């Protein structure tokens, strides 16, 4: 359990209780029953550790669980040569030392009985209750006979789903993996490496997210020793070399104790050695280690307010390193961690890192969710209305809710396994605010695309932009902790995401949803999806008409390049939309957003999935692409060809190329308004070599007014060209 457990001889252990001799326990476990009023000697250490945290705990159920586990596993041996019962005993002792409550310890003693013996889940439930049954079921592996190569990923999926209802499932799994890693040296090297990699990629990130630092740090060191033995031995030698001679941290710790005592603050000041991986990381970051880099000072006090009092005294009496200050009390980490971090300069210029926290904070920092005791003691946790309320229910944090949501869409085991590892690799989170005051928890680096799918699910397919802190922004905008985000959705629910969205999606939920939509709509790669947003690497920034922004559902009109609303009107000769007739079909018809045809453009139709028809200008690159893949266009015409087409109101997308200057956007907007055109939405791309591209989707009262509008826009100072949108078809 110590941070140095990967090599107990390298650094003195931090805990007074000696490591348990599992071989001796194994022999004791086989001695047979004991008197009815006595606990078996084999679990006396578990009982001692448990009573240290829970003095009034009823140990009778542990006695019964041990008897069932011992009798069930009797005759089974581990590869290390120890009786198998030593494994559940060791796992239970790990959890008992962390402060787990009785139900968790009971399930821990029984966690392998259903998997490896004749005991059934029903028997566990009958003898120990439904809670214990659920926990044992949650950590029981799926059979390779039934699942083949998918057994491991599907077992983890099962555990994660069970953890969503009871975090104690993962607590048992982490303790189980820790003991297995401690005894992994009996395995073949290739199997050691495989198990260590899974531990590194999945179990260690889960331990971090659940805040169980005591397990995480030891697992990291054990994995380090297996996957990078040279780096491990080098680090071990550095730590061993630093243990001799005078310790500068001891001198600083003494000065800190004196300072706090004189200030009347009751505090415990400890030297907390860094574990191997921590030392290795510091060395890689700084190049050469300082004498004080092998440990940190830990100041433990009674009340939250005292933390800031200690901080004030340290910054007054010592020279603080301001860049090292972090306040995780006012803004706790998403894994429940709370502490003040600072660094001060001691005698002789030695710099010491200092952690300041209460005893309660320290217990949570070490044990995470295990320190919550039984979070379900007052009944089932209240269901959450939003997946982001991490601090409202720490047993169902936002990252876990998001994981459970996207795993439902990742039905393929390989996709689930790959996505899970990628998701867990994102080890920092941010919190952004919705306009209704609720929050969204997202991984660091998340964009507006991720926020859209986190808030709206599949409705986010119709998202066309966002406001971040009140300012219009593209969906590619990367969000920062504390940002306020308003997502803007198109009225046209048939709208879909652009392939470029995948470049900006960080969350699995967003990537899976986008990929699923694009797979179901292959035509989006070359028509509707390849609008002006392809150049912007995100959806366009909407510029709604006055009075038309937002609304109760944060909706506005479709973006340029997005699908246009389908019109239900039909004629006998075929489907129609906005004055277009497509021969030989009665299917729904809509105008393509990539080229926005208007009379008297020559047009053709493209049949898309589901039988609907999208009408393009004849020279649109999307038409050529459809021909290349064998999808022939169908004849289309404007309803009144003799008269030049129906010149009633139409929608068109224009691209204005200009030199950057102040008030350019205002002048272009004024020119458009003067021509009686309404701006539906617009994109302003970042300047490149003093040139700016503006893309507008406009609603005109009469298609005949289009040439005059384009002339008016060209006459704006700085504008050197205005063209109809003609976006290249995407390839592939």
User: Residue 571 and residue 583: Cα distance in Å, rounded?
Assistant: 9
Beta bridge partners of 467: 472, 486
E strands, 283-437, are 295-301, 319-320, 326-327, 340-345, 351-358, 429-434
Catalytic residue among 7, 116, 386, 586: 116
Ramachandran angles phi, psi of 438, nearest 5°:
-75, 170
Residue with tokens 């057994």: 151
> What is the C-alpha separation between 433 and 528, in angstroms, rounded?
31
Instruction: Compute the Cα dihedral for 298, 301, 306, 310 and give only its sign.
Output: negative
List Cβ neighbours of 144 (8 Å cut-off, separation of 6 or more): 151
Q: CB neighbours of 572 closer than 8 A, spacing ≥ 6?
A: none
Q: Do residues 317 and 298 lie in contact, with contact meaning Cβ atoms separated by under 8 Å?
A: no
Q: 607: which strand partners?
A: 613
Going by C-alpha positions, the residue among 492, 453, 456, 451 that lies closest to residue 469 is: 451
> Does 386 participate in catalysis according to the annotation?
no
Rounded Cα–Cα distance for residues 369 and 581 (Å): 64
> Catalytic: which of 37, 70, 101, 115?
115
Nearest C-alpha neighbor of 376 from the set 356, 400, 396 = 396
Positive or negative, the Cα torsion across 229, 232, 238, 242? negative
What phi and psi, each to the nearest 5 degrees, are found at residue 309? -65, -45
Q: How far apart are CA 204 and CA 218, in angstroms?
A: 10
Cα-Cα-Cα-Cα dihedral sign, residues 304, 308, 313, 319:
positive
Whether 115 sits among the annotated catalytic residues: the reply is yes
3-state helix, strand, coil in the chain (%, to 5): 45, 15, 40
Q: Measuring CA to CA, which residue among 612, 600, 608 is closest to residue 637?
A: 600
DSSP 725: -
How many Å apart are CA 113 and CA 65, to the nearest integer? 10
Label the pairing between strands 340-345 and 351-358. antiparallel
Locate 248 and state its tokens. 């500068």
Q: Are the C-beta atoms of residues 616 and 594 closer than 8 Å to each other? A: yes
Q: What's the distance, CA 684 to chain centroid? A: 31
Tokens of 162: 């069970």
Q: Which residue shows structure tokens 């459970």? A: 404
Alpha carbons within 13 angstroms on the beta-carbon side of residue 265 total: 27
CB count within 10 Å of CB 14 equals: 13
Return d(Cα 14, Cα 17) in angstroms, integer. 9
Task: Check: CB of residue 318 under 8 Å from CB of residue 311.
Answer: no
359 touches 365 (CB < 8 A): no
Place of tokens 């031995």: 233
Catalytic annotation, residues: 115-116
């Amino acid at each position: 359990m110590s941070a140095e457990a990967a090599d107990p001889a390298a650094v003195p252990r931090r805990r007074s209780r000696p490591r348990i001799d599992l071989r001796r326990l194994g022999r004791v476990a086989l001695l047979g029953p004991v008197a009815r009023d006595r606990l078996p000697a084999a679990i006396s250490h578990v009982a001692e550790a448990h009573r240290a945290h829970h003095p009034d705990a009823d140990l009778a159920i542990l006695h019964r669980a041990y008897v069932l586990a011992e009798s069930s596993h009797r005759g089974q041996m581990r590869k290390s040569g120890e009786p198998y019962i030593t494994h559940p005993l060791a796992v239970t002792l790990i959890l008992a030392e962390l402060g787990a409550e009785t139900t968790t310890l009971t399930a821990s003693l029984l966690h392998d009985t259903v998997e490896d013996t004749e005991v059934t889940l029903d028997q566990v439930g009958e003898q120990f209750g439904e809670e214990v049954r659920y926990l044992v079921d949650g950590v029981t592996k799926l059979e390779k006979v039934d699942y083949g190569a998918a057994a491991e990923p599907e077992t983890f999926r099962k555990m994660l789903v069970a953890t969503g209802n009871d975090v104690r499932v993962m607590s048992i799994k982490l303790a189980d993996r820790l003991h297995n890693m401690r005894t992994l040296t009996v395995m073949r090297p290739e199997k050691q490496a495989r198990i260590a990699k899974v531990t590194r990629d999945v179990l260690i990130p889960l331990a971090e997210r659940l805040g169980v630092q005591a397990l995480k740090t030891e697992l990291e060191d054990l994995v380090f020793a297996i996957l990078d033995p040279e780096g491990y031995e080098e680090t071990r030698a550095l730590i061993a070399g630093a243990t001799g001679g005078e310790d500068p941290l001891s001198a600083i710790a003494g000065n800190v104790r004196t300072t706090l005592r004189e200030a009347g603050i009751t505090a415990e000041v400890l030297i907390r050695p860094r574990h191997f991986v921590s030392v290795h990381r510091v060395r890689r970051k700084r190049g050469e280690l300082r004498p004080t880099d092998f440990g940190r000072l830990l100041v433990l006090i009674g009340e939250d307010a005292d933390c800031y009092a200690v901080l004030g005294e340290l910054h007054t009496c010592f020279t603080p390193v301001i860049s090292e200050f972090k306040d995780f009390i006012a803004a706790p980490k998403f894994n429940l961690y709370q502490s003040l971090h600072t660094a001060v300069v001691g005698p002789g210029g030695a710099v010491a890192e200092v952690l300041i926290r209460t005893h309660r904070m320290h217990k949570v920092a070490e044990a995470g969710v295990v320190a919550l005791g039984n979070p379900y003691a007052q009944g089932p946790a209240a269901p959450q209305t939003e997946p982001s309320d991490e601090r409202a229910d720490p047993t169902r944090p936002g990252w876990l809710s998001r994981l459970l949501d996207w795993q439902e869409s990742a039905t393929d085991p390989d996709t689930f396994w790959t996505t899970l590892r990628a998701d867990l690799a994102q080890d920092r989170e941010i919190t952004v605010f919705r306009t209704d005051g609720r929050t969204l928890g997202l991984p660091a680096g998340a964009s507006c695309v991720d926020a859209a799918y986190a808030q709206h699910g599949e409705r986010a397919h119709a998202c066309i932009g966002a406001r971040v802190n009140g300012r219009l922004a593209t969906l590619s905008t990367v969000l920062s902790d504390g940002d306020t985000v308003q997502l803007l959705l198109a009225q046209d629910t048939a709208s879909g995401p652009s392939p470029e969205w995948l470049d900006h999606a960080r969350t699995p939920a967003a990537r899976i949803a986008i990929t699923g939509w694009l797979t179901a709509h292959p035509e989006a790669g070359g028509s509707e999806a390849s609008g002006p947003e392809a150049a912007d690497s995100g959806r366009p920034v909407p510029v709604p008409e006055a009075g038309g922004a937002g609304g109760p559902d944060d909706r506005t009109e479709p973006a340029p390049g997005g699908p246009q609303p389908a019109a239900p009107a039909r004629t006998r000769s075929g489907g129609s939309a906005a004055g277009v007739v497509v021969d030989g079909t009665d299917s729904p018809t809509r105008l393509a957003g990539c080229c926005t045809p208007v009379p008297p453009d020559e047009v053709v139709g493209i049949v898309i999935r589901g039988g609907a028809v999208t009408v393009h200008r004849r020279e649109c690159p999307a038409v050529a692409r459809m021909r290349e893949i064998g999808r022939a266009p169908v004849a289309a015409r404007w309803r009144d060809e003799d008269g030049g087409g129906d010149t009633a109101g139409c929608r068109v997308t224009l691209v204005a190329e200009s030199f950057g200057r102040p008030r350019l956007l205002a002048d272009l907007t004024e020119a458009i308004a003067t021509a009686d055109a309404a701006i539906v939405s617009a994109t302003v791309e970042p300047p490149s070599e003093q040139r700016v591209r503006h893309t507008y989707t406009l609603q005109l009262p009469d298609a005949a007014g289009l040439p005059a509008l384009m002339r008016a826009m060209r006459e704006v100072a700085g504008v050197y060209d205005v063209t109809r949108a003609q976006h290249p078809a995407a390839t592939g």
